[in-house]
Copies of this chain bind each other. A is one copy, B any other.
Amino acid sequence: MNLQEKNKKGIELYKRAKEIIPGGTQLLSKRPEMFLPDLWPSYYQKAKGCYVWDLDGNKYLDFAYMGIGACILGYADEDINKAAKEAIDNGSMNTLNCPEEVELAELLLKIHPWAGMVRYARTGGESMAVAIRIARAYSGKDKVAFCGYHGWSDWYLSSNLANDKNLDGHLLSGLAPNGVPRGLTGTMLPFHYNKIEELEKIVSESNDIGVIVMEPMKFQADSSGFVKKVREIADKIKAVLIFDEITVGFRFNIGGSHLKLGINPDMAVFAKGISNGFPMGAIIGKKEIMQSAQTSFISSTYWTERIGPTAAIATINKMIKENVPEYLEKTGLAIKNGLAKKAEEHGVKLHIEGFPAMLHISFDYPNAQAIRTLYTQEMLKKGVLASGGIYVSLAFKEEHIKEFLEAVDEVFPILSKAIKENKVEQMLEGPIAHTSFQRLN
């Protein structure tokens, strides 16, 4: 089977895209080069449940990222779509405000009793920028200690102005923060997950940290009470503690993952988890902190449209009603176990990390990325989108796990043989997938 021929329309459109869109896509994680350079279908015409139809009419099972984590309930979920379409029929924008933004605020505050107020944006990056603005306005201090990835905005990327290795291990290695004003140099201080000594060092050397921001959990488990210690440090230095729940919120439990940890921040930010693919972001926080929004200017027209909060209300209510996080855990565990079994059967050294609802997989070989590329290539031929992660969805039913594992059962022997015969690179029909940010031509 010739992938070039099979994915002809998608491959051609992406070539054109790179001529008129710098970097080809709007999101690094959706770049075809991150999956299977030159051969990835790249575009879809239709999606339903966990299936995707590309421009060439090929049908795929998406056991990769399910909308880069944004579609926990599956693609085109009937209930959420119905709510969104009703909002559209009734006018999704107006001179007056939509009542759904108050209803959603009530719902988020009910789930997070520690919080007292809510603001909205429409993307994750923007929501984080709003949160940082409010936290800085409240604390009166500019410096932020951070752990993990928090978007593309100036406040975050400025991390690399002082030292181009500051974002290593958080975002991408050696990223040049071009276009970020140099005046922000020194405002961002990095620490790593589970390394409390790094944060301790930061606060011992700097007495003007106003904000601490982190993802409370992601691929690693909290060890020796790390997050609790961060909370204690924040209290001690009177810093605003922000939890970025954009990727993890509502995936492991109803609400922020901090509820599972039993540790409350001062503010939390949600986006991808709450609206099943419709643009939405929410910033929640303690009342006295959130009121600082009123001492700054934080205002945008599209933050007032109706689809975002409508979809969020429908999504959260469905997640509660069907206990989706429990289903994701059970399903993710079945996938993890099935995959581990196949790896063992076929003698493929596979690492599976992360929580069941959001698995990260890697091949334990020196040429790991070439093998991962070959895996993606061969799974694609079997009709499955597969890469270095599996974002579990409510749309994953038993038959889909079976379909996935059957494909794996055919592909792992190919990998195993190629690895043994040292022919992985030779078997690739295109270049090895990128692992980082690269300039595209």
Residues of A within 8 A of B (CB): 10, 13-14, 16-17, 20-23, 25-30, 41-48, 52, 54-55, 62, 64-71, 75-76, 81, 84-85, 88-99, 101-102, 105-106, 109, 116-126, 129, 132-138, 142, 151-155, 157, 171-172, 175-187, 271-272, 276-281, 290-305, 307-308, 385, 437, 439-440
Contact = CB atoms under 8 A, between A and B. Distances in A.
A234 to B, nearest CB: 18
Contact of A152 (B41, B84, B299, B437): B299
A65 B304 CA distance: 14
14 contacts: A22-B117, A41-B96, A42-B97, A43-B98, A52-B91, A70-B302, A92-B277, A126-B300, A178-B292, A183-B184, A183-B187, A272-B301, A279-B302, A279-B308
A277 B122 CA distance: 13
B125 A44 contact: no
A179 B137 contact: yes
B154 A129 contact: yes
Nearest to A391: B95
A101 B26 contact: yes
A438 to B, nearest CB: 9
A189 B64 CA distance: 47
A76 to B, nearest CB: 4
Given A95-B64, A126-B123, A45 B81 contact: no
Contacts of A299: 26-29, 152
B155 A154 contact: yes
Contacts of A46: 90-91
A96 B44 contact: yes
B178 A296 contact: yes
Given A91-B76, A97-B30, A279 B122 contact: yes
A297 B175 contact: yes
Top-9 shortest CB links A-B: A93-B277, A47-B91, A137-B179, A183-B183, A26-B303, A137-B178, A136-B179, A22-B293, A44-B96
Number of copies: 2
A76 B307 CA distance: 12
Contacts of A109: 20
Given A45-B99, A154-B129, A439-B294, A301 B122 contact: no
A183 B123 contact: no
A121 B304 CA distance: 16
Given A75-B93, A292-B178, A27 B99 contact: no
Q: Which of A21, A85, A437 has the most CB of B within 10 A?
A: A21
Contacts of A124: 300-302
Nearest to A100: B43
Nearest to A17: B102
Contacts of A10: 96
Contact of A23 (B102, B278, B294, B304): B294
A152 B300 contact: yes
A261 to B, nearest CB: 24
Contacts of A94: 44, 47, 52, 62, 67, 71, 75
